Structure 1
Amino acid sequence: MQSVFSGDIEVSIVRAGREIARVVRPLRETAAGPVIRFKRQFWPVADGIVYLDNGPIPEDGDNSPANENLVRHDEEDDVLQDAVISAGGSARLLVNAGPGTGKTFVACSRVAALIGEGVPASRIWLVSFTRTAIQEIRNRLESYLDDPADATAVKIATLDSHAWAIQSGFSSEARLTGSHNDNIRTTLERVLEDEDVQEYLGRIRHLVIDEAQDIIGDRARLLLAMVDGIDEGCGVTVFCDRAQAIYGFTEDSHGDDDGEIFVEELERRSFEPRELRRVHRTSDPALLKIFTDVRQRVLDERLPASRKGELVRGEIRRLAANQLGQSWDLDLTGVPANSLVLVRQRCDALTISGKNSEIPHRLRMSGLPSRILPWLAQIFWDYAGRRVSDDDFTELWQTRIDESAAPLTAERAWQLMVEGAGVTGHLVDLHRLRELLGRSSPPVIFTSPEYGDGGPVVGTIHASKGREGDNVFLFLPPLEDDADDEEEIRVLYVGATRAKHRLSVGDAPGRQSGNIDGRVWKRLPKDKLLIEIGRSGDLDAEGLVGVAAFSEEEARKAQLVIALNPSMQDLYAAAKGDLGWNMELVTPEQQRIAVLADRVRTDFREIAKATNRWPQPGYLAKIRSIGLRTLVVRPGDPVLERLHEPWRSSGFMLAPMLVGFGWSKLKGRS
């Protein structure tokens, strides 16, 4: 029978009533109805579902869908994917996978195949660079496995989380102090010198590493030590794409000096090369050229970087479906919710967000607090017990949570708690749960991937790596003399290849802001200042319910105001002498709801030094909150003694999601 291609479709593969996989395939319209190709056979599609129990369509004679070139293309794609998925459990593979080529599908299918061959799920480790990727893999893996519980057993985490697990598991003196790099270096020492750690790593049966092109410096050395230290029979599957190597991996950095050390070292260790070629993310012809032809340009080492940058920029502009103006003019009113608005610099994302403060949107940038979902504090803020039963939890949920607005059901929330800190299926240890949630990187199952609750995502290209959107609004920064040309080329390529259906391109200003330990600030005419607020650490437990900040009655009132007003505009912060010149945060009605942490005061002092003006700014106006999050204090933390009850006993409290630029003004004279 003849067939016509109708673009790509995401299809659920179902066997015995259960979804076993989710794939993206070209949809063929035939006389017998719509079909896709899966595992080298054609299958009928009904309402986006392929039922394997019904059997494939015979491929004899006229019953085979036509268009042999595309069929061969699909067959090649199946072979390339199967070469990774079905490789032996002890194989060591280096998989070159460009954007949109089905890397997550292959990674999940690889893990499922290993478990199907008898590898214990708990002996499989998966390491990714970002929490965003971890969350996506976790969400998808369960549907690939015969036993969904195996998805929980697989150790899926960022390298920092794996490193901390190794440290805390083998040292009673392990502390979450210093920088993330300190954590990595300490773990590296243990991997190299501690026999107990080496024996523990010897239990790994398969190691999957994602985004290898961005693993550099101490992280590269740690992973190489792990690869060299695991048993020879332990397999390793590594995914990489040099075209997406943006080594600084933060929106305000410009390169690193360690290059591609990790991938190069794996090549020296004779890892077997594999490749994924077919782009599944989009079927748009212009976007496909960006994913393929422009990618080859990005990887071309023959051209000078400056010339290559001009060509890549020009091609991205030419192939975009729409040309935009300046980033600061973007109105989010007409931007669909399934869109990404991407910029190179953090300052530009904050500016767009501030200009659209009345329009619901989400933020995705580094440096923001982990957004632990608010239902945890809403349930447990006054719960003093060490453990909670499923019956007690259900009663609390029914009396405290608005089911119509909740992001999940009570049953699902309980399942997550059991997964994280279950004693049995009917009992959860809240101290253990607080230990998990009190980490700098809490488990992704309790967090939201973006900062906010609805609308399009506004963020930096770096933080959106690994994500995709139906529509992408990409604002290109100007060329800058001190930038790493090769890195900037790759950054733009990463931004452009987030699009599934439509790419629009505009312009963003160059770097016009200062940076104090990650906090962005900007000097305006007439000594006005824009200063970022809402970074990780700007609010802490003492500033929300501490005895130095509130009386017990005032703390209860403040928490109630926060709970009843998830979105707030025109908050105001001012330094107070009785607070050690830390800033109280008040509503327009002058109700204190928090005291900002000491780091805000010290950062303001550094801004004063940078501008050679004194005294430092003493207020911040036009602060806003875009929602609620849970803040958790771990059991045994000395901070607890400085909190009011019931939070001293419970360890759970609500915090506003502060975002964006606040307004201030320089004082005095230089």
Structure 2
Amino acid sequence: MNIQSNQIALDASQRAVATAACDERQFVLAAAGQGKTEVLLARASSLVDDGLNPADEILVLSFSRAAVEAVRKRSGIHDLDGLQIRTFDAFATQILLDEEDLTEVGLPQGFDHRIRKATDLINGADFPDRLYPLKHILIDEAQDIVGDRAEFVLALISALGDEVGFTVLGDPLQGIYDFQLQGSVSKRNSSEFLQALINDFDVTETQLTRHYRATSDRTKELIKLGETIRGMGVLDDLTSRAAHQLLDNYRMESSSSSLLNLPGMLEPFEGDTTALLCSTNYEVLIASELLWENGYSHVVRRKTQDMSIAPWVYEIFKDLEDRTYNAQDIKEKLLAASKGDADDQWIALKTAEGDSRAWDSLNVSRLSQRLRSRSVPLALTVNDSAPLTLSTVHRSKGLEFTNVLYVQPPAGAPAAKEDASALRQKYVALSRAREDVVSTKLLQDSSARPVLSDGRWLEKRFGKFGQYTARMEFINSDIDDMLPFESDEIIAQTVQDNLVLERLLGKIIFGAIIDNDSEIPNYKLLTEDNEIIGKTSDSFGYGLKKSFAFKNRRNWTWPRGFTGGRVISIECATGHPEYTKSAGLGTSGMWLVPRLSGLITPTWK
């Protein structure tokens, strides 16, 4: 069998992994740029050639949404339409959605709770029906599987039995998610997970040999450094410091004192991409602010749970009724819209809708309400790729770019330490590049002190009465997407008409308070032309109350408004058909909402 992709012909080490027997259990050490995605897809192709059905007998799992996205995009060239490709969180949510008793009580809130609930189901007497057909599991980015997700994977493999094979790919030098153990019930770290996998399941260990990502002498040099660091063994204090010195010498070979000194990278040539990688999202917000102010368009990569439904889904369904349509009707609308691969989109829509017994039809009402659960297939989410991408290092996992701008973390930050954790984070950032890596600095206001509180960054300063919050991060959940926005002064359809991304992307949005006497305030969102595009949520109100508001006798004093947030995308919100019907938007149960990012400043007058 001649297994190859449209980019690389597999070498002997990759071919051996891809063509192993269906029931083989392999752990594959695969460094950055060694063609993991192609190996994974070639493995799936080989399994299909051996008679397995990609739709229900093969499952691809990854910790990273970016890795899932890369696999999904390339699966078409391997004729793997219908291949199950999921993050662990999305697959666990699908297991829960399959259970009928959740129709009344709803899904557990938070991905960690869902992972634990799904693990309980796997370990319980009522084995989930979705798992019965599985014959082989492919797991990518295994070094990032920790805590409750590690228990989920181990339970899954154990429950499926000895006859089910698996192929696990990973690189311990890229394991940067052990910090998630703080919020996890299980405290199993990435090293312990990999050890349990190897010891308990009769695993064959192998290693890929060739490298494909690096295309320049500059990036090929990092490959040798990575091999040297892996050869150091366990990274204690002494070896970590030595390894940091190697990487710091490498990154300083090409450096700049300011982002704005690098216009060529900030405006890549057609076909090229640049990633600006930071250690924290606060640094991403500061860099984004600087770039917008200087006219550099970009996208900010968000965390997995913040990725919402693409606006093209709304365009497809906005004029449809809350009833069942046959597959051909939906596919014709998908083809007419030309927003991507119609067959792939149909599979994603049907997967989200969840009625596998009626594959040739789709119920719009069921789809809109299932999408509300946030179990959204990747093909239906907003595309956050662009020539210039701003991201934390953690959110760049699984991605590659032509060039990388590595923002040196500020002195005293956890990422600036010379320990093993910071080393792996630095290596991950530098190894995303195909051609060049430039180390740079982000000039920050020394009088501002960033503090992470309840999932959002606050910018603290000192004033006449001591420390106070000067700015607050606007996060994904700060937009009210529970119902289509309308008010006495504007109808819902006008708000929808105002939501045009080409006009709004990167524009500063102003907030104006709606009800000054409420316990938790909401703010309408206005463009600089005074167009209303939505309103804030209660989540935003609580954040504002904690950060800025003060109580005078019995009443709270709220900011009259705020400024500083910028539009980063327009997305599709979903809910019950009655929501859109009562707002005069049809009965699809779908409407548009904006998403904002940035550090907002309150206004009191």
8 Å contact kept, 1:242–1:299: no
Q: Is 1:370 matched up with 2:304?
A: no
Residue in structure 1 matched with residue 434 of structure 2 by the alignment: 500
* Aligned match for 2:97, one of 168, 174, 193: 168
- Tell me the distance in 2 between the aligned counterparts of 1:414 and 1:648: 22
Could you say if the C-alpha distance between residues 229 and 303 of structure 1 is closer, same or farther in structure 2, counting changes exceeding 3 Å?
closer
* Aligned match for 1:262, one of 183, 187, 193: 193
Q: Is 1:459 matched up with 2:391?
A: yes
8 Å contact kept, 2:267–2:388: no
SS of residue matched to 1:541 = coil
* Aligned match for 1:562, one of 499, 507, 511: 499
8 Å contact kept, 1:516–1:603: no
Q: How does 1:452-601 map to 2 (within 5 A)?
A: 454-480=386-412, 485-508=419-442, 512-524=449-461, 529-533=470-474, 535-542=475-482, 544-545=484-485, 549-551=486-488, 554-563=491-500, 565-567=503-505, 569-577=507-515, 580-601=520-541
1:565-585 CA deviation, whole Å, 9 max, x = no partner? 443623211333266522221
Displacement after TM superposition at 1:411 (Å): 7.7
Q: Is 1:623 matched up with 2:560?
A: no
- Tell me the distance in 1 between the aligned counterparts of 2:140 and 2:453: 31
- Identical aligned pairs, as a percentage? 23
- How many positions carry a matched residue from both structures? 574
SS of residue matched to 1:520 = strand
8 Å contact kept, 1:126–1:156: yes
Could you say if the C-alpha distance between residues 326 and 652 of structure 1 is closer, same or farther in structure 2, counting changes exceeding 3 Å?
same
* Aligned match for 1:207, one of 112, 122, 137: 137
Q: How does 1:278-357 map to 2 (within 5 A)?
A: 278-297=210-229, 300-301=232-233, 304-305=236-237, 308-309=240-241, 311-318=243-250, 322-326=254-258, 333-336=266-269, 338-357=273-292
Structure whose CA Rg is larger: 1
Q: Mind listing any 5+ residue stretches in structure 1 that lack a counterpart?
A: 1-12, 26-37, 40-77
Could you say if the C-alpha distance between residues 170 and 562 of structure 1 is closer, same or farther in structure 2, counting changes exceeding 3 Å?
closer
Higher alpha-carbon deviation: 259-268 or 108-117:
259-268
- Tell me the distance in 2 between the aligned counterparts of 1:119 and 1:187: 25
Could you say if the C-alpha distance between residues 581 and 540 of structure 1 is closer, same or farther in structure 2, counting changes exceeding 3 Å?
closer
- Tell me the distance in 1 between the aligned counterparts of 2:37 and 2:125: 34
- Tell me the distance in 2 between the aligned counterparts of 1:426 and 1:123: 21
Displacement after TM superposition at 1:170 (Å): 3.1
Q: Is 1:117 matched up with 2:50?
A: yes
- Tell me the distance in 1 between the aligned counterparts of 2:177 and 2:297: 32
* Aligned match for 1:98, one of 31, 35, 48: 31
SS of residue matched to 2:306 = coil
Superposition TM-score, scaled by structure 2 size: 0.84
1:379-421 CA deviation, whole Å, 9 max, x = no partner? 32343241345776588679xx8x7xx6437787567546755
8 Å contact kept, 1:128–1:134: yes
- Tell me the distance in 2 between the aligned counterparts of 1:212 and 1:601: 39
Displacement after TM superposition at 1:626 (Å): 3.4
- Tell me the distance in 1 between the aligned counterparts of 2:334 and 2:131: 40
1:207-241 CA deviation, whole Å, 9 max, x = no partner? 11111111111111121111111121111111111
Displacement after TM superposition at 1:287 (Å): 1.6
Could you say if the C-alpha distance between residues 425 and 80 of structure 1 is closer, same or farther in structure 2, counting changes exceeding 3 Å?
same
Displacement after TM superposition at 1:196 (Å): 3.2
8 Å contact kept, 1:371–1:448: yes
- Tell me the distance in 2 between the aligned counterparts of 1:634 and 1:475: 44
Higher alpha-carbon deviation: 338-347 or 165-174:
165-174
Displacement after TM superposition at 1:464 (Å): 0.4
8 Å contact kept, 2:492–2:585: no
Displacement after TM superposition at 1:502 (Å): 1.0
Displacement after TM superposition at 1:528 (Å): 7.0
Q: How does 1:230-245 map to 2 (within 5 A)?
A: 230-245=160-175
Could you say if the C-alpha distance between residues 428 and 241 of structure 1 is closer, same or farther in structure 2, counting changes exceeding 3 Å?
same
Could you say if the C-alpha distance between residues 104 and 342 of structure 1 is closer, same or farther in structure 2, counting changes exceeding 3 Å?
same
Displacement after TM superposition at 1:194 (Å): 2.2
- Tell me the distance in 2 between the aligned counterparts of 1:111 and 1:602: 47
- Tell me the distance in 1 between the aligned counterparts of 2:539 and 2:27: 43
8 Å contact kept, 2:251–2:438: no
Larger relative CO (CA 8 A, sep 6+): 1 or 2? Answer: 2
Equivalent AA in structure 1 for residue 441 of structure 2: D
Displacement after TM superposition at 1:86 (Å): 1.3
8 Å contact kept, 1:328–1:351: no
Could you say if the C-alpha distance between residues 617 and 96 of structure 1 is closer, same or farther in structure 2, counting changes exceeding 3 Å?
farther
Displacement after TM superposition at 1:369 (Å): 2.9
Could you say if the C-alpha distance between residues 160 and 661 of structure 1 is closer, same or farther in structure 2, counting changes exceeding 3 Å?
same
Equivalent AA in structure 1 for residue 542 of structure 2: T
Q: Mind listing any 5+ residue stretches in structure 2 that lack a counterpart?
A: 551-555
Could you say if the C-alpha distance between residues 524 and 594 of structure 1 is closer, same or farther in structure 2, counting changes exceeding 3 Å?
same
Displacement after TM superposition at 1:334 (Å): 3.7
1:300-354 CA deviation, whole Å, 9 max, x = no partner? 2466436634643553443566312145876675445511111111011111111
Residue in structure 2 matched with residue 219 of structure 1 by the alignment: 149
- Tell me the distance in 1 between the aligned counterparts of 2:196 and 2:343: 46
SS of residue matched to 1:170 = coil
Across the aligned residues of Structure 1 and Structure 2, the Cα RMSD in angstroms comes to 3.6
8 Å contact kept, 1:608–1:615: no
Displacement after TM superposition at 1:596 (Å): 0.3
8 Å contact kept, 2:508–2:567: no
Displacement after TM superposition at 1:244 (Å): 0.2
1:115-166 CA deviation, whole Å, 9 max, x = no partner? 1011222111111102221121122123223xx4xx31x3221111221222
8 Å contact kept, 2:65–2:304: no
Could you say if the C-alpha distance between residues 317 and 584 of structure 1 is closer, same or farther in structure 2, counting changes exceeding 3 Å?
farther
